[in-house]
Amino acid sequence: MQFLYPNFLWALAALAIPIIIHLFYFRRFKKVPFSNVKFLKEVKEETSMRSRLRNLLVLLARCLAVAALVFAFAQPFIPSAREVLTGRKAVSLYVDNSFSMGAESDRAPLLQIAKDRARDVVNAYGVEDRFQVVDNNFNGRNQRLVGQEEALELIEEIKVAPASRRLSVVAARQRSALRTENIDNQISYLVSDFQRNITDLSAEQLDTNVQTNLVPLAAVRERNVGIDSAWFEAPVPQLNQNNLLLVRVRNYGTEDLDNVRLSLNYLGQNKPEGTLAIPAQDYVIDSVYLNITEPGIGRAELRITDFPVQFDDKYFLTFRTADKVSVLNIDDDGQPNRNLRAALGGLSVFAANYTGSRNIDYGSLADNDLIILTGQQSIGSGLAEQLRLYVENGGNLLIFPPQNADVTSYNTLLTRLAADRLEAYTEQPREVSGLNRQEFIFRDVFRNRSAALRLPASQGNFPISRLGSRRQESLLTYRDGSTALAKYTLGEGNVYLSSAPLATEINNLALNAEIFIPMLYKMGISSGRRRQAAYTIGQDEVIQTNRRGAAADLVFKLRGQNGEFIPEQRVVDNRVLLTISNQVPEAGVYELVLGDETVDAFAFNYDRKESDLTYLNGTELAALANLPGVALLDADNQASLIGDIRERNEGTPLWRYFIWIALGALLVEVLLLRFWKG
């Protein structure tokens, strides 16, 4: 037997009090006159012996009562197999409130049971102990120790949230909070379903000075289906076209499913897309065609129906389509090629501007989707640097070197653009025989693939050298295998290089409208970097948009269904980087507002990490419990949990028994004094 407060045993000195009373109180005699005591001698001796026995029993009862009270206040206990903690305790309690805790047990949602068990843990300790209550939100107010009543209030406020944390990260946060107060006895509890994808505890990640207790909860069924991701097949979706949208739907359960219904919501109209058959522990990729009928910012929502875990049944995405392609033609003398002007001016889809090399407004280059360089005999270093910055930040540059081009200055520009070099001009007729239909520029342009196309030809060109480090992609190829039109990617933009001049007497490409016009359009809408269709809450902390006007002096706001907030913004060249910092509370489409104008929109979806409802089994949990300082508690039985906690932290308490002993001793004393007349 041991004591929680052994210093209180000094109070056993109080046993002297009943002994002193016995020695002095019972020796007082009362004189009574009597005529003849000869006949009372025998009676007197007998009465004295009985009185002495009664007094000794009364003394024993009093000493036993005092000793039992002293032992009760010293908190005696029978120690358990683990070391018992004496004195105040600092207790950290983690309640897993991720989406997986919305699954059902055989009685109630897992989160409700987790909160009940957390309250049981708090009540199993004393009012003098200190508590931390932490969930996946990692709020600042949860990083301090509080009293018992406030801890119970914090537990009551916990709700299901999109955040998900690895248990090693949770354990580190618990250790940090437990060190905020100078309390030697440190205990942590992890109340969770212990999904495989968050359980990463190891001996190296745990502090042996902190007793770690695992409180596992189990759902009834490990079944869930969710939309994993979605993306457009083409780098840029196109207006008034059936854009192919690929959707990956994953079956996280152990049963094959054959009737998963998928639907698409666009412009407020919900369109069924059929049913899917998904094998267990596998996924399927389905094709959905989205006909975008409105230019600008578009929004769509994919949806399936599943129960009980539903946070991953919706997938939001956004996209942008242009109704106008802004084109700038830079020509040495400011007089554009006649056929180029006809091609750009003949269709309303183009918004074209023309300028000479001496009148370029470098500040407005970024406002153009496509810059076409024609007739430039040489390229100055200033223009070359501005074109490099334009391409790196997402612009598209098409280069037609003239017949009299200064090859050295062009190669200087091409080196900056990470493109191949031009060789000297050669007058040799060549015919284009190959067109790269797999590349975005010519993909899905021609409906009849078997139809013979009238391909361009040239009377002379600048052969393009091929360096392996330049990553050239041929769009048009001559019969001899050399490149007629090449593509290179730099940063977030593209460089398109023609080996032949644009002049009609040398190159008939501009006369071939069925190739030239769609080529210009798709070059204008192309991008070296795909626009991200959706972001993940908690993972993607930085998003970007194009710079608009004096963006450094204006404030961007993100607006959702539940209000708006101002993200941190940083201007880099013609882009604005927006830092979210966990300010997006729920999935959906958030509009980017500048002043009173909606300039962009971003889709945010919940992290799919919680979709996989596979948990550690009993053997794996037992293996965790074998780590130093780790114990496994039974969460199914409330009384067993509380008793186990008290036994593990206090041993088997005996103070109640000593209280009963003290009361019994006092009762014996009363009975002796009342009914034993000595």
Q: What is the CATH number of the domain that holds 167?
A: 3.40.50.410
Same domain, 377 and 427: yes
CB atoms within 10 A of CB 297: 17
Residue 641 lies in a domain: no
Residue 648 lies in a domain: no
Domain that holds residue 295: 227-315
Which of 505, 525, 545 terminates a domain? The answer is 525
Given this model, what pLDDT does residue 471 score?
A: 85
Q: Find out whether 250 and 612 touch, Cβ atoms under 8 Å.
A: no
Which of 253, 287, 315 terminates a domain? The answer is 315
Distance CA 328, CA 517 (A): 15
Query: Bridge partners of 354?
Result: 329
Any idea which residue has 């991008």 for tokens?
A: 527
Residue 642 lies in a domain: no
Residue 445 lies in a domain: yes
Same domain, 165 and 245: no
Given this model, what pLDDT does residue 223 score?
A: 82
Neighbouring C-alpha atoms within 13 Å toward the C-beta of 57: 15
Look over the chain and give the mean of its residue pLDDT values, rounded to a whole number: 86
Cβ-in-10-Å burial (0-12, 13-18, 19+) of 155 comes to buried
Same domain, 303 and 357: no
Distance CA 110, CA 96 (A): 9
Lowest mean pLDDT among 265-269, 342-346, 599-603: 342-346
Same domain, 50 and 32: yes
Residue 320 lies in a domain: no
Q: Find out whether 287 and 244 touch, Cβ atoms under 8 Å.
A: yes
Given this model, what pLDDT does residue 6 score?
A: 79
Alpha carbon separation from 348 to 106, 298, 344, 523, 677 (Å, rounded): 64, 21, 8, 16, 123
* Predicted confidence (pLDDT) per residue in 59-97, tens digit: 888 888 888 888 888 877 666 555 556 678 999 999 999
Given this model, what pLDDT does residue 234 score?
A: 81
Same domain, 549 and 456: no
Structure tokens belonging to residue 536: 């993940």
Q: What is the CATH number of the domain that holds 290?
A: 2.60.40.10
Given this model, what pLDDT does residue 171 score?
A: 94
Percent of the chain at pLDDT exceeding 70: 89
Same domain, 556 and 492: no
Same domain, 343 and 421: yes
Same domain, 125 and 192: yes
- Is the pLDDT at 554 greater than 90, yes or no? no
Rounded (10°) angle between helices 381-392 and 407-416: 30
First to last CA, the chain: 39
619-638: average pLDDT: 87
Lowest mean pLDDT among 279-288, 436-445, 644-653: 644-653
Given this model, what pLDDT does residue 487 score?
A: 95
Lowest mean pLDDT among 25-39, 188-202, 244-258, 565-579: 25-39
Which of 315, 350, 385 terminates a domain? The answer is 315
* Predicted confidence (pLDDT) per residue in 39-63, tens digit: 555 555 556 677 777 788 888 888 8
Structure tokens belonging to residue 614: 């596979």
Q: What is the CATH number of the domain that holds 483?
A: 3.40.50.880
Bridge-based pairing state of the strands 89-95 and 185-192: parallel
Same domain, 156 and 276: no
Same domain, 336 and 395: yes
Same domain, 175 and 210: yes
CB atoms within 10 A of CB 358: 8
Distance CA 91, CA 120 (A): 13
Distance CA 170, CA 178 (A): 12
Same domain, 204 and 278: no
- Is the pLDDT at 247 greater than 90, yes or no? yes
Residue 650 lies in a domain: no
* Predicted confidence (pLDDT) per residue in 128-147, tens digit: 999 999 999 898 889 999 99
The count of domains in the chain is: 5
Given this model, what pLDDT does residue 79 score?
A: 64
Residue 96 lies in a domain: yes
What is the dihedral sign for C-alpha 173, 177, 182, 186? Answer: negative
Residue 595 lies in a domain: yes
- Is the pLDDT at 579 greater than 60, yes or no? yes
Quick one: DSSP state of residue 619?
Answer: H
- Taking the model in full, what pTM does it have? 0.73
Rounded (10°) angle between helices 110-123 and 148-156: 180
- Is the pLDDT at 277 greater than 70, yes or no? yes
